[in-house]
Structure 1
Amino acid sequence: MRHWPVLCGALLFGVPVAAQDLPQGDATRGKGVGRVEIAPYIEAAQVLTAELSPGSDTVTYTRVAAGVDATVNGRNTTGSVSLRYERHFGWGKHAEDGDSLSGLARVSAAIVPRVLTIEAGGLAARTSTKGGGRSLAGGYERGDDTTQLYSIYAGPSLHTQIADVAVSANYRFGYNRVNAGDSDVVVDGKDLDVFDESTTHVANIHAGTRPGDVLPVGLGIGAGWNREDISNLDQRIDDRHLRADVTVPVGQTVALVGGIGYEKVRISHRDVLRDENGDPVVGANGYKTDKDKPRQIAYDVDGMIWDVGLIWRPSPRTSLEAHVGRRYGSATYYGSFGWQSSRRSTVNISVYDSIAGYGGQLNRALVSLPTNFEAIRDPITGELNGCVGSLKDAGCINGALGALRSATFRARGISASYSLEMGRFTTGVGVGYDRRKYIAGRGTILESINGVTDENIWLAAYLNGRLSERGSFSTNVFANWFSSGFNLGSDGAAFGVSAAYNHLLTRRLVATGALGIEGITYERDEDSWIASALVGMRYAF
């Protein structure tokens, strides 16, 4: 895979340079460095997977893996990384060999404290491709039913004060890729045009005053730019806006806010290359683009935007924002709620409305993750389950997965997460709803999907804990309910549950046993269920 060296480097960037001089597993405190923890490991396991329906095949494979989990919490630098490489060897003619890279990283480093910050992050994940081309986190499927996802980003943020005016600016560059490999993503007997890769640019600038500094109300002005270039059919999203806003306090903890401005959003793409018979030409990365044809406008909105809302911050641990207005040529609703009832529990809710491609939406989800987290992995596959453990911010990317279609879309939805630490146990749950309305140009190969919607309801939960000085357990549950407006018979649901017991044999050697079952049910097709069992050993350095 030609992109792995770059992506691995981006994921490893989550370990700061200051940590390289430390012995592995050590922790230290210092100015700007703080506490650093690095935990590398290797493991080997034997896995048995049995098909329960519609067939009865049973396969066995050996899995070997190496990985590292690291965190840094300092005055000027915070970050977390969980990186894992796995190689599996199949036993028998139906079990294939293969490998995978999975990881998650987020880091924030203050170059000039409280003024200039650099942020970066990376995601590599293997997902099951089921249900009309949908990507499902943490599944047990291998071979032709899996897809690799990659997403990275980096950029600076600036915050400064000029007299009574607070000035902030940020820029973010992102790269996203889906590697379908040999997978054949088919919907209703037809190959799905799977998203290939994209780059994203996001920039914002804002200047404003706080209520009471100059006037009884706060005033501000800002501008933003969002662009995504998708390799499939040269699709392009270009979104620019300029707006002014006002903040009106109505109490010690409540303020009314409003804004008005101008936006210009344009989505365009080229048509497919056709052969002498007029049939579309399909290559290894989807439809071939006809570079000789002009770009077709799929979406063009140019005009006024506005919104009004409420901000409620009764304490440093509780905040609520709710907004309603007009954007993208129609009504828009967005907001957030965060409540940290104690140092051991947190609730986060987010309502969103955006225009993006598959890669842009995945990159947004990555950016929204906290810098301090614990990766939650499936005990059988070792893959990320879509959520992270954190007592700071929201920590799920499940809503950004969905169908792997290459077309751009408007996404609206809501996600909520809850995390809790209680003595020896930690638990968390994430739920959400995502609705995507696809956008495509008339007279092109994508015309038939213009205005069609996909919907996805998702749930992910975990419960981990220590049973004794040597024994611990981990459990994972996921569920997805999906519905498509394409009328392709791919509506259905996916479910999975797994549990593992870990026993400490020596200070660094752990034995693990795990069981799991997952399945997908369809309205107009056969259900698919498989069960898996694992025994293995892990050595932590």
Structure 2
Amino acid sequence: MRTTLPHARRGVMAFAALLLAGTATSAQAQFSGPESGGGDSASASAPASADSGGDAKRDKRGERRSKRAVEVSPYLEVGQVLTADLKNNGDVLTYTTLAAGVDAVVATRRAELAATVRYEYRIGEAGGIGNSDSISGLLRGRYELARGLNVEAGALATRSRADGQGADNTIFLGNGSNSADVYSIYAGPTFARRIGGLDVGAGYRFGYNKVEVDTPAVLPPGATSQDIFDSSTNHVAWGSVGQRPGDLPFGWQVSGGYEREDASQLDQRFEGKFARADVTVPIGPTVALLGGVGYEDIEISERDPVVDANGVPVRDANGRFVTDKSSPRQLSFDTDGLIWDAGVMWQPSRRTSLTAKVGRRYGDTIYTGSFYYRPGHATQIQIGVYDGISSFGRGLSAGLAGLPTQFDPTRNPIDGDINSCQFGAQGGGCLNNALSNATGAQFRSRSIQGIFTSRAGPWSYGLGAGYDRRRLLVPALSQIADLNGVTDENYYLFASIGRQLGRDADLSLSGFYNYFDNGSPGATDVQSYGASAVYSQRFWRGLTGSAAASLTGFDQDGFNSQLVASALFGLRYNFR
């Protein structure tokens, strides 16, 4: 006993140090909705050292990628697309695509970046489809200014449904009715460093989000439309200081933060602030008890919409409520007082971590948790359970911030738009929750999301799945009070498999399923599903030919169901 006790004690202390090593900026978790990568999310719960240090990244071909790799690939592309609705009298559409874009991956000692930007122009040929264009892109990056001080940024340009019926690829069939253009950007510094035996962390994030709708959404007869998000700015600031076990038999941390969002729609405002103290008590070599208590103040307010002579809210040409700027502000959510949570963390190694917590926030019981498992260099499993107050704008900013800085950007092979889930060497993330409903209302969200990524020789795999439940928060005495408490549910699944076929050919398969249950009066459930395959062959230097095929289905009460088959043949020239 005298010989093993010191070793056990050192094991406990080492375990506790690992627990607190990555918590310098965990104060950000207090603002985390289901889309965020902060705090209790699966990605943040991974040990900080699990993916830093000696592991080199791998590219799509499975080759070892240097930590000082810089790959920037501008390209031009031309393609011919044919789509045919296998139901509804078999409408056939054909069009030509002209595209220009750039894909980039940067991995140096001080910078990490993954980015893809694409402009596409479509020329309609048959079936009544008109000419159109679109820009899409995804960026996530980090640059180290000094030891422990980083600047992080992210951006997204994509499309979502304008009718509040979930995010899926079927919105682009035909002329793309019921679609909205979504733009999001965030940036800010983060700091995490050990100073004089204390773990010090701080950060700030600014986000801007915009949704553009060309025409009002088409809804089933008798359905009530939720308001459509327009634009917002959001600010998040947080800080923390703590100490690992050593001088004391437990670790501790005190933290605080402030968040504000101002939305143009109904002059909506979110304001939240908190302060709290947390302790970590190791009770064994691999297990620790977690506990925290603090104070929180959250207030959400908005103005009424303009109403006509019959008391019906007035909407503009895009289907949004018109704000009555002379009306007084009304509260849609207001809480302040004591918050607490308690739980347990199990971390048998740097590659495995499990956290489960129960607590009290928002005047209600909350449950959060995460699981991280990395059995080998190229395989990761992440699961997160979330409970928070969020919005379309704040959810997009948090979702972008939760993506890894190293992933292989992938797109829909037919329309070229960003896939909802992205995977890479650092894990992955899905934006389905953030994009599922472009509602203008704030909401309470409870969700779970799981990510699996792996590489084995020439093969690469990715799987993302989740569930999100949103309850809208609208003033009880508002002209649109019938939307208060409306609950939406979203189920989603995305999977991809890729294989390198020799030096100059690739084959990739992907599939998705999305089910959206809209709780608005008169609304109907929507389900969509699809699968696609892409074969690429490099002919000469930067010239690559591609052939793609997809099958996509869409079902919603009140509309004709669709089953659309598509095919694409294209050529791309990469300038590198």
Normalising by structure 1, we get a TM-score of 0.90
Deviation at 1:312, TM superposition (A): 2.2
Report the RMSD for the aligned CA atoms in angstroms: 2.0
User: Does residue 70 in structure 1 map to residue 101 in structure 2?
Assistant: no
- The corresponding residue for 1:158 is 191
Q: Which moved more, 1:121-130 or 1:509-518?
A: 121-130
Q: 1:229 aligns with which of 255, 262, 278?
A: 262
Q: Which moved more, 1:517-526 or 1:352-361?
A: 517-526
Structure with bigger RCO (C-alpha 8 Å, 6+ apart): 2
Deviation at 1:301, TM superposition (A): 0.9
- The corresponding residue for 1:204 is 238
- The corresponding residue for 1:10 is none
CA distances 1:75-99 after superposition (whole Å, capped 9, x unpaired)? 1211111111111111146202111
User: How many aligned residue pairs are there?
Assistant: 508
The answer to whether the Cα contact below 8 Å between 2:116 and 2:409 also exists between their aligned partners in 1 is yes
CA distances 1:232-255 after superposition (whole Å, capped 9, x unpaired)? 101111111111111101122221
The 5-angstrom pairing of residues 263-282 of structure 1 reads 263-276=296-309, 278-282=311-315
Letter in 2 for 1:375: P
User: Does residue 301 in structure 1 map to residue 335 in structure 2?
Assistant: yes
Q: 1:493 aligns with which of 523, 527, 538?
A: 527
The 5-angstrom pairing of residues 331-480 of structure 1 reads 331-480=365-514
Deviation at 1:372, TM superposition (A): 0.4
Unpaired segments of 5 or more residues in structure 1?
1-28
For 2:502, what is the secondary structure of its paired residue? Answer: coil
Alpha carbons of structure 1 residues 173 and 137: separation in structure 2 relative to 1, 3 Å: farther
User: Does residue 219 in structure 1 map to residue 252 in structure 2?
Assistant: yes
- The corresponding residue for 1:15 is none
- The corresponding residue for 2:326 is 292
The answer to whether the Cα contact below 8 Å between 1:399 and 1:415 also exists between their aligned partners in 2 is no
For 2:439, what is the secondary structure of its paired residue? Answer: coil
User: Does residue 134 in structure 1 map to residue 162 in structure 2?
Assistant: no
The answer to whether the Cα contact below 8 Å between 1:137 and 1:386 also exists between their aligned partners in 2 is no
Unpaired segments of 5 or more residues in structure 2?
1-64
- The corresponding residue for 1:35 is 69
The answer to whether the Cα contact below 8 Å between 2:532 and 2:550 also exists between their aligned partners in 1 is yes
User: Does residue 329 in structure 1 map to residue 363 in structure 2?
Assistant: yes
Indicate the structure with greater strand content.
1
Normalising by structure 2, we get a TM-score of 0.84
Alpha carbons of structure 1 residues 446 and 357: separation in structure 2 relative to 1, 3 Å: farther
Letter in 2 for 1:180: V
Deviation at 1:144, TM superposition (A): 2.1
CA distances 1:150-204 after superposition (whole Å, capped 9, x unpaired)? 1110011122344232221111010111112235343545554211111111111
Q: Which moved more, 1:465-474 or 1:76-85?
A: 465-474
The answer to whether the Cα contact below 8 Å between 1:484 and 1:490 also exists between their aligned partners in 2 is yes
Structure-2 separation of matches of 1:55 and 1:146: 23
- The corresponding residue for 1:18 is none
- The corresponding residue for 1:245 is 278
Structure-2 separation of matches of 1:156 and 1:196: 27
Alpha carbons of structure 1 residues 340 and 356: separation in structure 2 relative to 1, 3 Å: same
- The corresponding residue for 1:257 is 290
The answer to whether the Cα contact below 8 Å between 2:143 and 2:151 also exists between their aligned partners in 1 is yes
For 1:444, what is the secondary structure of its paired residue? Answer: coil
The answer to whether the Cα contact below 8 Å between 2:155 and 2:186 also exists between their aligned partners in 1 is yes
For 1:53, what is the secondary structure of its paired residue? Answer: coil
- The corresponding residue for 2:84 is 50
The answer to whether the Cα contact below 8 Å between 2:118 and 2:136 also exists between their aligned partners in 1 is yes
The answer to whether the Cα contact below 8 Å between 1:147 and 1:183 also exists between their aligned partners in 2 is no
Structure-2 separation of matches of 1:51 and 1:93: 11
Deviation at 1:347, TM superposition (A): 0.7
Letter in 1 for 2:232: S
Q: Which moved more, 1:43-52 or 1:395-404?
A: 395-404
Structure-2 separation of matches of 1:66 and 1:529: 30
- The corresponding residue for 2:153 is 120
For 1:448, what is the secondary structure of its paired residue? Answer: helix
- The corresponding residue for 2:538 is 504
